[in-house]
Structure 1
Amino acid sequence: MQTIEQIQGFKGKYPKQLWYLFFSEMWERFCFYGMRGMLYFYMVHHLLMDKETANLQYGATQAWVYAFTFIGGLFADKIFGFRKSLFWGGLLMIVGSLILAIDPKSMFFIGVSFTIVGTGFFKPNISSMVGKLYREGDSRTDAGFSLFYAGVNLGALIGGYVCIAIGKREMLSSIIPEGLEWNIAFGLAAIVMVISLLTFTQTQKSLGNIGLSPLQHIESGKRKIYEWSTYIGSILIIPIIIVMVSNTEYTDYFMYTIGPFSLLYLAYEMRGFSIAENKKLIAAVIFMLFSIVFWAFFEQSGGSLSDFAAENLNNKVLGIPLDPNGVNNSANSFFVIAFAALVGMVWLWMAKKKIEPNTIIKFGLAFLFLAGGFWVFYYTKFFAGPDGKTSLDLFTFGWFVITFGELCLSPIGMSAMTKLSPQKTQAVIMGMWFLASAYGQYFAGLLGANIASASKNMTNLEKLNTYANGYQQLAIYALVAGLVLIAISPVVRKLMQEVK
């Protein structure tokens, strides 16, 4: 077994363990994004929810997914360790997908709730293990997270397009019996999650002692009591999650409390740290707060942009017939795969030249790209025909612009969380990073519901104009947020100290 020093002393750009985690995460993200891409469409067209309710429901469901990563990170830090948490989460995701494959209509919220709890245990911990592959201050860390993020998006690209295309009978319709298309689509998510877990279990020995239980030092019987209590507790909470997810007002109450609670918990942990460590944690919290705004806009992809794709876009990209919903789900991932490694190499080149922008400036740039992308979405209104259908080419270009914003924020943000947090709170801090995403998802649902409400009882062309004008407002807000981040960068830079 390799020691942590041997793992972190790797030669070249990337450690070999990164590739193993890359493929495990890739298949898990196929499962997750395949599921995510189907939610809104399935709720509107098969559960027959009105669009306002479906937007709120989508936002609530995704908020719970990311909120539970905070809880999963907490149990990984205190009881399971990263590895056991990841495996347990993967099993729950498989169960959730199988439930949906059996009967998506009547067991929709049951299957979704298993997936929520499972993702909470899986997601923050594999990201934390990536951070452990690098020594503190290693300039290759951002490039490693950028490559890992490409794995995330390779899974999202395939799952995001294939699952919804199968469900809508845009793919494999000649071999899938009519009426079973959604069962197959949800079942496919279960199959790829099995592949993800097998990939991890067959390669985990190469990780040395990374991700093992923090309770190795205590007596085996006592450790098993803690672990089995967590297994049983995570099963018992699923009925509560079912009620919470299916009633969005309960999600409102939860979101009012989980954020303040997580900040109070962090404040409690900060009592045992030095002033220098606490300054870094304050910087981490600032990044989290701004990321909420970013994801609230970006995650229109699963709600209002899903509706926009279904009703207001034509079906050709560069003359190639493609499903607009599939493009909406996967265009961003395609561009991440194409450019993530290049962006990572640019950061490495700039670091060698000592001109690499610090993390806070990268975050500011992310918002400027986000503003540009939503301005392109707004501009699609000028290419619409009388039927309210507009250019899928231009819409896809909007995602191209936004992708560079995401590459300046998401992988860089994950890397920053590992660099700014002390060793004993890394999984919790990563969980809080994803909790910030939960708030972004929650507000995305509220924004999407407002746009849907404003466009009720309109013609398709009027509806397109209403959606486009809403995206123009989001572009303006994103621009302001980016300029604010750049303006406060000197202050945040001081809090970060030696962290770049």
Structure 2
Amino acid sequence: MSYQDHTLTDQVSEQNAPIGADPTGPEMFGHPKGLFYLFFAELWERFSFYGMRALLVLYMVNNLFQSFANRDEIAIGIYAAYGALVYATPVIGGMIADRLLGYRKAIMLGAVLMALGHFALAIEHPVFFYGSLALLIVGNGFFKPNISTMVGTLYKEGDTRRDAGFTIFYMGINIGAMVAPLICGWLGMTYGWHYGFGAAGVGMVLGLIMFWQGGRSGVFGNNGLPPEPAVIKERVAGITKEAWISILSFLSLPVFGLLLFNGTLDLPGFGETIFDGSIMHIVMNYILLPVIALVLIYNLVKVDSMERQRLFVVILLTFFITVFWSFFEQAGSSLTLFAERNVNLTFMNAAQTNSINPFFIILFALPFSAMWVFLSKRRVNPFTPVKFALGIAQLGLGFLIFAWSANYADAEGRVSIWFLILGYMFITTGELFVSPVGLSKVTELSPKKIVAFIMGIWFLSSSFAHYIAGLIAKLTAVSGTEGEAATGMASLLVYTGVFEQIAYVAFGFAVLALLLTPIMRKWMHGIH
């Protein structure tokens, strides 16, 4: 699981939590009781998200598109588009909650949409497949940013328990992310795909029930209610604004389904029309990217010299984090297929390997946090650009270990699972060097008037990273239908060849970050 799930929750809440919010209701273990309702709601929601994610590419390759010669390419393209959209919609969902719905109603709407999506995915049919992913994308947009913000509303401004509260919440995220592939992966690959996806759906319903029960018991107090209740009750064309949000959410599903679609449609008047990711390519490169660039240029012109230089540093950090996630997000796609085809999976299946990263996050997160405090006290804590360089280098080392494994393969082209585990460990330590540190510095370096916008760009970098990750993963695509695709030593050389290239490119970007460190330090104007 990406540490960014936690850092997103923390920083979004920093931006949106109302000043002076009081702890509500009774306490438990020294924290507002509402925290633990949110803890379990998010745990089960992440269980559903990562349980489905662990099975998604394997399901497409081995079931839904198994008769297609380019099944790997189709599956990787859909997975990349799904990941890109999942990280884009929370920006919209957060805005709608802030201005109209309030956090609670947004969370409930998102949870219902996601539960429907998971159960629809259990029905093995292409129409339900695309529809279910669209439901998950829209639902995640409402759920993810707003449950995070709810945590922030439980603490007063300056409450010393706040960081500890987010750490507890973060552990719930990682527990869900670690356990989900083990359970859903086992059910899906042992008893059938619909059992695995169905288990993810059950997890989402449990999360929905936990959040609903928290609201019903009053532990959230008045936090998370609509900012102006009268506004959402206003009618447009005879329908309340609140109802319109739900209606438009469902009406948007075909649009998201089309963005995901990889295949051929028979359109009246157009004949056979092939969608090979070209729509997503247009949206990302010719709409979203130019808009972001223009707004950034506008703001660079408006701010003073020091703010401009700090903003340049934010842009550089955003560039490097996009590079990092582009390589990191091979997990779930090319790394999962590599695990299935070329790793001796002695005590877990390919889907379950997705639990390795969150396991190491749980293991290392607190020691890393303590390490930064220890180094700071001794004035030897590396500057942020140096941490980025070290983090990207560790990610490169992880992929180099995957590549080296080819030298120790057996006659069937399979390598020890310990290469996979060791590689994931270095990728995870690299993640802990860049993700939490980067988000913290974005809030410090961004001009105060546009900090929310810059945070939105930072989150959207994950969307672009998933898109780029798909382009990279397609280099590993093995042609042929089930039973005909290259396996054994042939597929091993394809995967490890690409992983080796990723490693060397990552090392190159790490060197670039080090070379830019002096000027970035200067432009940061005293921020470490």
TM-score normalised according to structure 1 size: 0.83
Which of 375, 396, 401 is matched with 2:421 structurally?
396
1:200 aligned partner: 211
8 Å Cα contact 1:377-1:468 kept in structure 2: yes
2:267 aligned partner: none
Distance 1:76 1:258, change over 3 A: farther
**Inter-partner Cα distance in structure 1 for 2:491 and 2:57:** 18
1:26 is aligned to 2:43? yes
Structure (1 or 2) with the larger CA radius of gyration:
2
**Inter-partner Cα distance in structure 1 for 2:521 and 2:112:** 41
8 Å Cα contact 1:96-1:115 kept in structure 2: yes
Q: Trace 1:151-170 onto structure 2 (pairs within 5 A).
A: 151-169=172-190
**Inter-partner Cα distance in structure 2 for 1:444 and 1:468:** 16
Q: Trace 1:109-124 onto structure 2 (pairs within 5 A).
A: 109-124=130-145
SS in 1 for 2:330: helix
Distance 1:475 1:157, change over 3 A: same
8 Å Cα contact 1:125-1:427 kept in structure 2: no
1:178 aligned partner: none
Q: Structure 2: where are the runs of 5+ without partners?
A: 1-17, 263-276
**Inter-partner Cα distance in structure 2 for 1:415 and 1:265:** 22
Higher mean Cα deviation, 46-55 or 220-229? 220-229
1:237 aligned partner: 252
**Inter-partner Cα distance in structure 2 for 1:245 and 1:353:** 50
Q: Cα offset for 1:145?
A: 5.6
8 Å Cα contact 2:19-2:157 kept in structure 1: no
8 Å Cα contact 2:135-2:253 kept in structure 1: yes
8 Å Cα contact 2:40-2:207 kept in structure 1: yes
Q: Trace 1:177-192 onto structure 2 (pairs within 5 A).
A: 181-192=192-203
1:325 is aligned to 2:351? yes
Q: Cα offset for 1:425?
A: 6.2
**Inter-partner Cα distance in structure 2 for 1:466 and 1:334:** 28
**Inter-partner Cα distance in structure 2 for 1:429 and 1:89:** 24
Which of 435, 451, 456 is matched with 2:476 structurally?
451
Q: Cα offset for 1:94?
A: 0.9
Distance 1:27 1:252, change over 3 A: same
Distance 1:93 1:426, change over 3 A: farther
**Inter-partner Cα distance in structure 2 for 1:465 and 1:131:** 48
Q: Cα offset for 1:278?
A: 6.4
Percent of aligned pairs with the same amino acid: 37
Q: Cα offset for 1:336?
A: 0.8
1:294 aligned partner: 324
SS in 2 for 1:301: coil
Letter of the 1:444 counterpart? A
Which of 80, 98, 112 is matched with 1:59 structurally?
80
SS in 2 for 1:330: helix
Distance 1:132 1:382, change over 3 A: farther
Distance 1:458 1:186, change over 3 A: closer
8 Å Cα contact 2:185-2:349 kept in structure 1: no
Deviations 1:139-179 (A, max 9, x none): 9987766654443222111112221221111xxx4xxxxxx
- Return the structure number with greater relative CO, CA threshold 8 A, min gap 6: 1
Q: Cα offset for 1:457?
A: 6.0
Q: Cα offset for 1:366?
A: 1.7
Higher mean Cα deviation, 48-57 or 221-230? 221-230
Which of 207, 221, 235 is matched with 2:234 structurally?
221
Q: Structure 1: where are the runs of 5+ without partners?
A: 174-180
Deviations 1:39-76 (A, max 9, x none): 11011111124212221221122112122223223333
Deviations 1:243-296 (A, max 9, x none): 121132211111112233244456668899887766655544433222211111
Letter of the 2:372 counterpart? W
8 Å Cα contact 1:149-1:340 kept in structure 2: no
Which of 473, 488, 491 is matched with 1:463 structurally?
491
Greater helix proportion: 1
Q: Cα offset for 1:380?
A: 0.8
Q: Cα offset for 1:464?
A: 0.6
Q: Cα offset for 1:428?
A: 5.0
Q: Cα offset for 1:490?
A: 4.5
8 Å Cα contact 1:166-1:182 kept in structure 2: yes
TM-score normalised according to structure 2 size: 0.79
Distance 1:124 1:422, change over 3 A: farther
Deviations 1:273-325 (A, max 9, x none): 88776665554443322221111111111111111111101122xxxx22133
**Inter-partner Cα distance in structure 1 for 2:161 and 2:310:** 20
Higher mean Cα deviation, 364-373 or 38-47? 364-373
Letter of the 2:178 counterpart? L
2:20 aligned partner: 4
Q: Cα offset for 1:381?
A: 0.6
**Inter-partner Cα distance in structure 1 for 2:305 and 2:98:** 22
2:8 aligned partner: none
Q: Cα offset for 1:227?
A: 3.7
2:273 aligned partner: none
**Inter-partner Cα distance in structure 1 for 2:527 and 2:492:** 45
Q: Trace 1:138-153 onto structure 2 (pairs within 5 A).
A: 148-153=169-174
Q: Trace 1:334-349 onto structure 2 (pairs within 5 A).
A: 334-349=359-374
2:503 aligned partner: 475
8 Å Cα contact 2:123-2:129 kept in structure 1: no
Q: Trace 1:276-425 onto structure 2 (pairs within 5 A).
A: 282-316=312-346, 321-327=347-353, 329-419=354-444
1:176 aligned partner: none
2:272 aligned partner: none
2:517 aligned partner: 489
8 Å Cα contact 1:73-1:427 kept in structure 2: no
1:35 aligned partner: 52
8 Å Cα contact 1:324-1:392 kept in structure 2: no
1:84 is aligned to 2:105? yes
**Inter-partner Cα distance in structure 2 for 1:200 and 1:275:** 46
Q: Cα offset for 1:433?
A: 2.8
Which of 463, 466, 469 is matched with 1:441 structurally?
466
Q: Cα offset for 1:103?
A: 4.1
Which of 245, 249, 256 is matched with 2:278 structurally?
249
SS in 1 for 2:477: helix
Q: Cα offset for 1:32?
A: 0.9
Distance 1:211 1:5, change over 3 A: closer
Q: Cα offset for 1:474?
A: 0.6
Q: Cα offset for 1:238?
A: 0.7
**Inter-partner Cα distance in structure 2 for 1:216 and 1:231:** 16
Q: Cα offset for 1:391?
A: 0.7
**Inter-partner Cα distance in structure 2 for 1:482 and 1:135:** 40
Letter of the 1:123 counterpart? K
Letter of the 2:211 counterpart? F
Q: Cα offset for 1:92?
A: 1.1
8 Å Cα contact 1:70-1:428 kept in structure 2: no
**Inter-partner Cα distance in structure 1 for 2:150 and 2:454:** 13
